[in-house]
Amino acid sequence: MKKIYSASNLMEAQIVLDLLEHAYIPAKIFNQHAQGVAGEIPFTHAYPEIWIIREDDFERAKRIIDTYENTPVATGNVQCPSCGEDNPANFQLCWKCGGGLEMAENRQFT
């Protein structure tokens, strides 16, 4: 086993774990429950860690994590072509009518 990532919180650790598992890279989260004792131990020792099972997967897993860390976050809004409602840019379906936002000819960000 080899440590590949330290997450700032458990949710981020789970996202990275899911990305690795979708790429058929077996991994585990360690320190899942350590944040509760962060005052007793150094806070850097309480961060959730991702460890890969097979060391042969290290380079491929590192590329997946680098892509995750460097993917820009979509901000702003997009207008639903069906009902005209504003939706966050990362939505695929309109929250109001359920219409598909990815099908819009022109994704107008505001």
Q: Which helix (H) or strand (E) holds 6?
A: strand 2-6
At 15 the pLDDT is 94
Q: Give long-range contacts, CB 8 A cutoff, 24+ apart: 22-31.
A: 23/60, 23/61, 23/64, 25/52, 25/54, 25/57, 25/60, 25/61, 25/64, 26/52, 26/53, 26/54, 26/57, 27/51, 27/52, 27/53, 27/61, 28/1, 28/53
At 104 the pLDDT is 52
* Segments of the chain with pLDDT less than 70: 33-45, 103-110
At 64 the pLDDT is 96
- CA–CA gap between residue 49 and residue 34 (Å, rounded): 10
pTM: 0.63
Residue type at 96?
A: K
